Each structure stands twice: as C-alpha cells, then as structure tokens.
Structure 1
C-alpha cells in the first residue's frame, strides 16, 4: 500500500462534507469512494471509476482481494438479507394493524409527550443485547406512540440511536461483548499479559465515559423537556404544529406510502408481540448455536458462547422467523389473504432499498479508507505526542476520528485495540489504570465517532426505523453527542493530571453533564425565544376526556 499521507483523509472527509452540504447521502458517499479510487489509480479517472465499482461489488458480495486471491466472508451479504427480511416483517405487522394495536394498548398509559419520550429511552435500555435489534424494535414500537404524543421523529431517532450502541457496548451479555473480548484477548496476548480478557473488560467499564453519559443524557433530556441546537426547533415544531417530521424532510422508511394504510377493524396486539418475540428468541437461539452451544458453555460459560457466535447468521434466522410468524398470524386470523401477504412482503423489502444502498456505499468508503491508509496515518501522527497519562485521552480522540470518518465502531475497535493496549502497557509499565482507561477509550471513542457520522450503519438504521430524515437525525443528535463526549474528554484530561479512579471520575462527570445541559438549554432557549429551551408538554386527547374536558385533538401545556 502506498503512503498517501494527509491525502488519505480525503475519501471519508469528502463523503461526510458533501453529505452535510448537499443532504444527498448517496451522491456524497459515491463521490467519496470515487476519490479513494482516484488516489489508488494514481489520478486516472477511468481507473478510479473501475476501482470504485469493484469496491461496491465486493462489498455486496462480502469479498475482497488478498495476494491475488478472491477471499469471501458473507457478513455484509447477511446484513443485507437481514435488512430485507426485517422490511418484510415490519410491513406485515404494520399492514395487519399490529403496530396500531400495540400503540393503542400502550397509549392508555402514555398520556403526555414527556411520558412517550421517557418510554422511548426505557425501551432502548431494555433492548440491551444487540444494537441492530434495538433500532428495529424501539423505532417501530415507539413511532406510532411518539407520533400520537407529538414527539418529533428527530427525538425518537436520537433516543433510539443513543440507547443502541452505547447500551450494547456496556452490556455484560450482548452480541458486542464476544467481539470485544476477542480483540482484548489478542491484544493482551501480544504483550505476554497474564490477565484474562474478561477481567480487563470489567476493569475498563467505569472509564467508558461517553456511552454511559450518552445514555444518561437521553433520560435527562426526556425528563426535563429542555433542548438545544436543531433538536429544540424540531421538538417545538412537533408540539406546537403537530408536525413530527419537518417540511421538506425525506424519511428513510416511509411505511405508510410504500405499504399502504393499516387494515382497520382486525387489529390485534399479538400480531406485533409474537413476531417480535420470534425475532428475539430465534436470534438468541442462533447466537447459542453458532457460538458452540452447550459444549462451549461448559468450557467458558455464556461469554465464551457469545465470543464464538456469528451474530449476522443469528439475526438472519431471527428476522426470517419474524416474517414466518407474522405471515402465519395474518393468514390464520384472516386479516390478509395470500395475495395481500405476498404484495406486502415485496413492498416491505422494497422500502429498504435506499437504506441498503447507503449501507453498501458506507462499507465501500471503509474499503477506500483502508486502501489509502486513513487509520494508519491518523495513528502515526498522534502517537508522536503521547505521555502515559495522556494515552487514554489521545486514543479516545483518534478512535472517534477514525470511527467518524469510516462510519464503523467495530472497525475502529479492530484498528485501535491492537495499538492501544501495547502502547498503554509499554508507557505505563503495568496492567493498571492507564491500560484500562485506554481500553475504555477505544470503545468510547469508536461509539462516539459512529454516533456523529452520517455514514454509520447504526445511525442510518436509527433514521430508517424511526421514520426520520437521515440528515435531520444527524444534525439534531450531534450537539447531544458532543455534550457527552466533551464531558468524557474532560474526565480523561483529569485522568492525565493524576485523578485515575474511574468511579470517582464517573461520579464527577454526572453532575457536570447535568449542569452543561442546563446551561446550554438556557442559552439556546434565549437565542430562539423559547424560555429555558423548554418545549411544551403535549397531553393527548384521551387524558382530557377522562377529566370531562372537550379538546379536539389535544392540548399543549408548558410546565412552570
């Protein structure tokens, strides 16, 4: 691979810059990949186009060239199949009235916009075992509920996204921990360490400031109704005008348009509950089977099973089970006939095509970045200014940048962990706070950069399943992500000057996060003419009827 130096930053930066400027994500991604191809092809535009198409085809087929050989790994292919099946399953549940039924059942308890916002955060926290599954279930479950309560799609996408990867990276049992432990095990072995990957993982937990603070901030925002940045305008618009998406927005998943309106009169909560249970149960079963089952469990427990599991196969099996159960229910309950089921399945798969194209191009950006050495350049430049105390802070910044420019947290983990652990160990001389904080900074920086990146798969999926315009989701989430990241970075700077207890730093970070959120909402509220940055609370119509009132559609109240 040639050394492109600072030019290696061009492919991801061009893609991200064009996505922000034009809001045309497909165009921006393709051009970013093409710029990478132009570098690899030595400035030849024809060669650049050929290389770009090769990367795209290889990412669809989950293949790559290595020493002249075509290598394959069906990860990407399975994710695309999973997306198509999920689109079909969601369409069936929606068309049969399952989402309306669950929304009616839940909204008996959800009386206000505040309650709907908090419920979105709770749902996101409960679905802790996988970030993809989180985005699917939370987005689709909560969308009709938050729409009814006049909570903006932007907030739903933010709550969905900020309780997906941050929760999964913290969870003791998840599809993430097996991958994390595998990386840690290899990194520790590379320096001859005698501690277990599991103990290092646990020791790093309190230093994972960004994901912990990102989850807490969702609850703080939902409870206080205080907002800042573009989210304040989005939430104020939704409460005052009832517009859960903005004028001119283009939601990534428009189920109502693609599939048609739900069938009325035959709604049943079981049409929602049973397919979702099938998705979750079969996914777990798939993790168990692909992880080696009881034989592996005897050797190393559930963590060993998860370490060996193939989450993409598990998700494909789970999504297929979701479709089969949904089909059996809607036909068995005579809600739809076979012709309607087939048409709905096709429409559901079709509505995923835009998001799937973005995923393919996002993967292709990573291929382009790998080819020109983006990550290696960033690490090489930053490593020249390190001292032991600063290692975790610098690793956090590098990991965030790599994740932001490549759109992948897992890819960032794979790049940074083999560098972070040996570097921290060599400079500090032992397995202690510097090593554990550095491990945490790889995870935290990877998730933070992934959150801010418009080319991240989980960011895309959060937009998709929340029914939100993708760039609106990115622009409204970034200020909150930056808030949590800045507080986390300040804790790492305190670490650098000698305060090395992760739990003490975490305890200090929480009130600081609350205070910064308060000050920003006050400042931005004054700027926008919305006192305290506090949006009104919307009380749904049924609450007022129960009190004997007669309000046509609802009423908005501002709390004192």
Structure 2
C-alpha cells in the first residue's frame, strides 16, 4: 500500500478517482470535475497559486494552441451544434417521421431494426466521430419505432465506430496506425513488410474488435440482454421508456412537426453531410500532402475541418427542406426558425460540456504522465516472452480507460512495445504486440466515461452518457476476457488460426452460458 501511494504512482490517482466516482455516483460532471481538480492539485504539488493557474491553462488549452485557435476541439463543438440544429429542422420538416414510415416498409421486425443499425455502423467506417454521430441519427427513428432502448442503440453505435475504423486501412485511423508502425518494422529488420501489409496482417489479430462485433450480432439476433441493459430493454419494451434520464428533444421543446412531408427531408441532408465530409477528407488530405496518392491523402486528412464543412452543407439542406414543406403550413412562423436553432443547440449542449471536461482531464492526465507510468510497468517487468501480447493488451485496456483516449495509448505504448520486442529479439511478436495495443485501446475507449467517442455515441443515439457506459460495460468486459485468451494462445502458438479458433470456442461457451441463464426480456403487453 505504501509503495502504491508513493509519488511514482500518483499519476494513477486522478483517473482512478474519476472512474470510481462515475461508477458510484453516475454523475459525470461531478466525477470529471473531481478528477480535474485532483489532477491539477497533483501537478501543482499542493501549491494553490499554481493549482488555479493550471486549471485556467487547461481550460484555455482546449481552444487555444500555440497562440492560435485549437481547431480540432473548436470544430468538433461547432459540428455538434450544426448537427443538433440540423436534427431539429429535419424533425420539424417532418422528414424524420416520413423516414420512419418509409423504413417500416423495409424493416418489419425488432431484430431487423437492430441488424440495419449494426450493418450501417460497419459501412460508415471512414471515421469514428463521423460514425458515432451519424449512425445514431439515421437509425434512431427505426429503433424507436420497434422500442429498442436508446442505451442499446448507443451500444450498437459505439461497437461499430472505433472498432471498425481501427480495422480498415482506408480510414482516418488506418493511416495513423500505419505511420506509427513503419519505423518499428524497419527497426525490427522487417523492412520487407510494408506498413500497409503490416496493418493487414494485424487485422485478424485484433481479437477484441472481432469478438465485440460478433457478440453485438448475438445480442441483436438472440436478444441477449444482460446486466443493466436488461433493465433498459424492459423499460423500452413494456413501458415505452426509450431513454433513461434523457428527455426527448422534440417532446421537451414541443417542436411542431409538419404532416405530409417526405423521407427526402431526412435522407438528403444526411447524405449531403456524409458525401461532403468524405469528399472534404480526401481533398483536404491531398492538398495538405501535396500528393494525391491514397496513402498520402489518408495520412493528412483534416478530419474536423471536413466535419464542419459537411455539417454546414447538411444544415443548409435541412433548412431548404424545412422551408419547402412548411411554407404553406399555418402552424409555422418565423419564430420557429429561432426555436429550431435554440433547440438544436440546447440538445447538444450537455454533450459539449462533458466533452470540454473530458478534454481538460485528458490534457492534465497527459501532463501527469499516467500513460508513461503504465507503460513503464510493462517495460520493467520480467515476463515470459509469450505473454507479452496478453500483458500489453491488459495495460492498453487500463491506459485507454484511465485516459479516455485510444490515440494516446497508441502513441505511448506502440513505441514501448517495439523497444521491448526488438531488445528481446522476438520480432515474430512485433505485430501481435501492436495488434494487442490496438485492441486494448479500443476496449478502454469503449468503457471510459471520459472518452470522446463514448460521449459522441451516446449523444448521437440520445442516450445518457453514464447509462451507455454502464450498459455497454458487461458486453465489453466479456469481449475483452475472450480476447485475452486469444492473445495468450497467440503468444504461445504464434498461430493466428489457432488463436481465432480459441476465440470461437470461448464465444460458443459464453453463448451457451448466457442462453442457459438469461431469457429474452418478455413483452408483457403482447
């Protein structure tokens, strides 16, 4: 106990305190605030003057970087505002209602609504932020109609946002990962393997992602509602309560909805947003790189700039359809334009506030060196070489959960793992170790209440942040435990095929256990 409380381990206290408070109180603002204050106090060494200055600097750093605007953070907040206003006008124009009626012609079962959401999340792979916000917006009318809880919708969205992006080379994640992997391949004497080849070799080794997506489809098809998710589904199926703790935007502000609209009033703005964002990503990447090759464009994409451009296009299109459908409707007047803008902003304000707190604590945790402490534990441990991928996976899980960032975990652990593997001469484990980092970082990102993708998945789906984290946690933990078995098997056998077979066996065991213990939530009104 004394050694844990030594100064060496103090960087672990603020993130651990935040996580514990979130779980115990389920008050994300209070928990993040406590974590921010604790982290600033530790950095200041107990000096109150420095403590207040650190708090001010950490807040300003969200918006100001190197004397200029921090466009990454600022543009995400702008995009959220645009998305909220766009959603309000799509609702008022009747587009959301018409889309639901149109979708019901194609989707006739609750399972079908879940499957469409899952496959849509896989198809929107270009960026995790984009996927987290858009998939929930598109799928919400369908899942609402079939009384799928917003918590489960958020789970579907989160399970196909970061996990799919990290598996696809033509995504904003793929390019960054290839860039981090390239120098390690050369340092390990594996220069005959290109970064792209190395990335593709790691895809079947990303066991957490593979297992979590399979389990998600099990949940959809076999109605495996376990832990807190069971309560949310019971509320949705039997009481029609789709959101726990989060009021519906349209109900809260009594937005009028035009009758007799078309599904185009929702489909066209969202398609316009999607196409514009993707086009802007590649064009901005080509301009920034001064090259139009695919890899160069992917490596230099200006993600948040593209989101804002797409958000503006989507918002303008939603306004065009709003005016088109409501110009002859006496229930609408000029004041409803201001009401739509206000409602859209207020709908997204809680998410923007939580994101601001999450960014603050993320920066403070980075300054504390929490990631380096965890990475050093791995580097200094005397472990059997075969267990290195499994141990690195566990450390990446903890690091990403504590810091709320996958990319931070990548940046710290990938070089450390490379040094360990190269120094041991076990180059055959280099790619498995990096794959373990990617898998663990996605798990931690899934389970962390201070993760931006977790917050955005809940926001896009209309779910409470903490309800989303708590309901997703059992599925994520089960997936991580199965993935851990796979990394142990991979380390000892060096066979991806045998490791994948071990995953299938574990999934089958979990399926049989869950099937024996749980029954689908009964529809008492049927």
What range is the shorter-chain TM-score in? over 0.9
Out of 25, 37, 41, the position equivalent to 1:38 is 41
Deviations 1:195-236 (A, max 9, x none): 321111111111100011111111111101122111122223
CA RMSD of aligned residues (A): 2.3
Kept after mapping to 1: 8 A contact 2:392/2:433: yes
- Is residue 18 from structure 1 mapped to residue 21 from structure 2 by the alignment? yes
Q: CA deviation at 1:371?
A: 1.5
**Distance between the aligned counterparts of 1:76 and 1:279, measured in 2?**
19
**Distance between the aligned counterparts of 1:278 and 1:90, measured in 2?**
14
Kept after mapping to 1: 8 A contact 2:258/2:325: no
- Structure 2 length as normaliser, TM-score? 0.92
**Distance between the aligned counterparts of 2:221 and 2:489, measured in 1?**
29
Deviations 1:106-130 (A, max 9, x none): 1123222222222221221221222
User: Could you tell which deviates more after superposition, 158-167 or 233-242?
Assistant: 233-242
**Distance between the aligned counterparts of 2:207 and 2:290, measured in 1?**
33
Q: CA deviation at 1:259?
A: 4.8
Kept after mapping to 1: 8 A contact 2:206/2:439: yes
Residue of structure 2 in register with 1:350 after alignment? 346
Alignment CA distance shift 1:321-1:492 (3 Å):
same
Kept after mapping to 1: 8 A contact 2:224/2:514: no
Deviations 1:373-392 (A, max 9, x none): 11111111222133321221
- Is residue 360 from structure 1 mapped to residue 356 from structure 2 by the alignment? yes
SS of 1:170 mapped into structure 2? coil
**Distance between the aligned counterparts of 1:448 and 1:407, measured in 2?**
10
Q: How many residues align?
A: 515
Q: CA deviation at 1:238?
A: 1.9
Residue of structure 2 in register with 1:260 after alignment? 254
Kept after mapping to 1: 8 A contact 2:489/2:502: no
Kept after mapping to 2: 8 A contact 1:127/1:134: yes
**Distance between the aligned counterparts of 1:414 and 1:259, measured in 2?**
43
Structure 2 stretches of 5 or more lacking a match?
A: 1-5
Structure 1 stretches of 5 or more lacking a match?
A: 65-69, 526-532, 539-554
- Is residue 489 from structure 1 mapped to residue 471 from structure 2 by the alignment? no
Deviations 1:125-177 (A, max 9, x none): 22122222212222112222222212111111111111111111112322211
- Is residue 231 from structure 1 mapped to residue 229 from structure 2 by the alignment? yes
- Displaced runs of 4+ in structure 1, greater than 4 A? 70-73, 189-193, 293-298, 335-339
Q: CA deviation at 1:72?
A: 6.1
* Structure 1 segment 69-148 matched on structure 2, within 5 A: 70=67, 73-148=70-145
- Is residue 289 from structure 1 mapped to residue 283 from structure 2 by the alignment? yes
Alignment CA distance shift 1:514-1:143 (3 Å):
farther
- Is residue 324 from structure 1 mapped to residue 283 from structure 2 by the alignment? no
Deviations 1:17-39 (A, max 9, x none): 11221121111111101111111
Residue of structure 2 in register with 1:549 after alignment? none
Residue of structure 2 in register with 1:392 after alignment? 389
Kept after mapping to 1: 8 A contact 2:273/2:311: yes
* Structure 1 segment 332-343 matched on structure 2, within 5 A: 332-335=324-327, 339-343=335-339
Kept after mapping to 2: 8 A contact 1:93/1:271: yes
Residue of structure 2 in register with 1:519 after alignment? 513
Q: CA deviation at 1:518?
A: 3.2
Out of 432, 437, 441, the position equivalent to 1:437 is 432
Residue of structure 2 in register with 1:215 after alignment? 213
Alignment CA distance shift 1:482-1:26 (3 Å):
same
Out of 451, 455, 458, the position equivalent to 1:456 is 451
Residue of structure 1 in register with 2:468 after alignment? 473
Q: CA deviation at 1:456?
A: 0.8
